[in-house]
Chains A and B, each alone.
Chain A
Amino acid sequence: MEKQMVISVMSKDRPGIIADVTGVIYELNGNLADLKQSVLCGYFTMILMVSFGDDITAGEIAEKISSVESETRLEVVVKDFVGTLDSGSVIGSNIYVITAQGANKNGLVARMGRLCFAYGINILDFDTAVSDGLYSMILHVDLAGVASLDDIYMAVEDFGREVELNVVMQHIDIFKATSDISL
């Protein structure tokens, strides 16, 4: 009998973190199903979905990974997975991309988060960047739970005016079409 675990790892970034963590998982006979990793301002973070035999506990896995010897400390959280696994694909008829660009100011992400929550928009991915003094937010959102697409378009437009950012919502297929070779 196998069980699914969600593992979260954070650390000051250095070469070899993925090798260390996945090495421990391999030693514990874990089967890695999915992984997302990112580095922000020199800090490493990673979330993994792994299946293990039912003879090991979340606490044992966390302890094994945390005890890896290195110059940085790995902060690890391990949880039993609750729910059903899907493909994790963001491609679907209800996935849209919201972009917001303009001058940076405090509270923009919080306001965007509130907007999405207010309209039942589920954020799948959220990226921000500053380039040449221009602040950008890029969100992949799932609109499966929204009642009216028109309302969302209007809300996004109003939001852009309020926060003085150029905010645009566009279906993800458009970006696939203009950037991918196959359609």
Chain B
Amino acid sequence: MSASRNILATIDMIQKEHLDVRTVTMGINLMECCGSNVQETCRKVESKIISVAGSFVGICDEVGKTYGIPVVNKRISITPIVHIGASFDRYGFIELAKALDRAATTVGVDILGGFSAQVEKGMTATDLEYIASLPEAISTTGKICASINIATTKKGINMDALKLVGQTVKDLAENTKENDGFGAAKFVVFCNQPGDNPFMAGAIHGLEEADVVLNVGVSGPGVIARALDRIIKNVGCANLRLDDLAEEIKQTTFRVTRCGELIGRRVSEKLGVEFGVVDLSLAPTPTIGDSVGEIFQILGVDDVGAPGSTAILAMLNDAVKKGGVFASKTVGGLSGAFIPVMEDAVLADAVEKGSLSLEKLEAMTCVCSVGLDMVPIPGSVGADTISAIIADEMALGMINQKTTAARLIPVPGKKAGEHVSFGGLFGASPILPVNNIGKSKRFIEWGGRIPAPIHSFKN
């Protein structure tokens, strides 16, 4: 009887609540592909990706079909590209991006991440050429995502790099202005970037990783929301307290994570590739019913951004981690709740109503993964203000010893309140107003570094 109940509970989760595995991401080390010139390196990079990942998409689909749980995205992450293109100029990096795009298209993955650099303490000549290549490399390719780590808790914030990436975000948006600045949605700036994150745009295959590794991103905000609806309906609001709801989230996350672990392990076995980690993140999609914002409403705030939202997010993030950590042999990546504005219909609605501001989003990122994600801002916001917004987000990660990130999209020619839509998983939202534009220029002009914080006297 107990077995039957478990079976029917699982069927509810899979069929009625659309459980899927959000991504299986194959991490590939490309260090052996460094050639004596750009052409040779590009050839070796394409060759390795095609030889390692040739059957990857087919096997993911086959395993998904066997278990009746689809793998929505099949992705590749690579060694941060500056290591492969050491000594290349910007044009060399652009050629590398095109080679990666061709390889990703050949093997049929949705996205390839790792067109990346880690410059938290200083920048080499190669790093500078890499940054200079980004606007063209990302706007002229289809499947390539870029990320740059400019801060860590142990090294501080590289403010010289920060100044450059503010302008890079502007240039990326401008290069893709016919598409509302979509290029900026494929570039993310990190503090404490993990090397095993399967989610885009920030996936990389860290130097500490094995040659080829599979990482799985489970998701399921819709599954959590429906589980909460069910317990509230069955038990009644009057008989429930927040710790009961946290327990329900924890147990549901356990089940969701186990499905991701199972699919990941089976794909690994079939490919003969090491299984890396399960990333426990709750990643919403614009689909109705697949929203993290909806969970806020169920847990008691009428609109996301209302007082209490940060506390709810703290509880949600923690319950997800607690359920997932026990469910999986190895967890990693970002592992928390995402609040990407454009990719979550309820968050976008809160922006429309004026209840969710950039400042409140920033506060909420103190207690969740990852940061200011998919936030459209007016195209008139200058590079110095964008750099300063990113600086604030980096400081949160640096001091709190967590990953934070910023993916801001200054939408060319559009003002606060106007709408922007990228379609598909990238979603749509009204543009958020930015306060105090142009008032941080002198701060950004300093350059240099914000030193690493002290690791004691924590109050």
Name A's B-contacting residues (CB within 8 A).
97, 99, 101, 127, 129, 136, 138, 149-150, 153, 166, 168-171, 173-175, 177-179, 183
Given contacts A183-B258, A183-B262, contact A174 B8 (CB under 8 A): no
Q: Which of A136, A171, A177 contacts B68 (CB 8 A)?
A: A171
Residues of A within 8 A of B10 (CB): 170, 174-175, 178-179
B261 near A99 (CB under 8 angstroms)?
no
Residue on B nearest A170 in the bound complex, by CB? B68
Given contacts A170-B68, A171-B68, A173-B262, contact A178 B4 (CB under 8 A): no
Name B's A-contacting residues (CB within 8 A).
1, 3-4, 6-11, 13-15, 65-69, 254-255, 258-259, 261-262, 265, 329
Q: Which of A99, A127, A171 contacts B11 (CB 8 A)?
A: A99
Say how far B233's CB is from chain A's closest CB, in angstroms: 13
Residues of B within 8 A of A174 (CB): 10, 14, 67-69, 259, 262
Say how far B67's CB is from chain A's closest CB, in angstroms: 5
Interface of B is mostly: helix
Say how far A149's CB is from chain B's closest CB, in angstroms: 7
Residue on B nearest A172 in the bound complex, by CB? B7
**Distance, CA A97 to CA B259, complexed state (A):** 16
A127 near B66 (CB under 8 angstroms)?
no
B6 near A169 (CB under 8 angstroms)?
no
List 14 interface pairs A-B (beta carbons < 8 Å), by A numbering.
A99-B7, A99-B11, A149-B65, A153-B68, A166-B15, A171-B66, A171-B67, A173-B67, A174-B69, A175-B10, A177-B259, A178-B10, A178-B258, A179-B6
B4 near A169 (CB under 8 angstroms)?
no
Q: Beyond A173-B262, A178-B258, A178-B259: 20 further Cβ-contacts under 8 Å?
A: A99-B7, A99-B8, A127-B4, A129-B1, A136-B8, A138-B7, A149-B66, A150-B65, A153-B68, A168-B15, A173-B67, A174-B10, A174-B67, A174-B68, A174-B262, A178-B6, A178-B255, A179-B3, A183-B262, A183-B329
**Distance, CA A179 to CA B6, complexed state (A):** 7
**Distance, CA A150 to CA B351, complexed state (A):** 44
Interface centre among A101, A153, A178 (most CB of B within 10 A): A178
**Distance, CA A128 to CA B258, complexed state (A):** 27
**Distance, CA A129 to CA B67, complexed state (A):** 25
Residues of A within 8 A of B69 (CB): 174
Listed from nearest, the 9 A-B pairs whose CB atoms lie closest are A177-B258, A179-B6, A178-B255, A177-B262, A178-B10, A171-B67, A170-B68, A178-B258, A99-B11
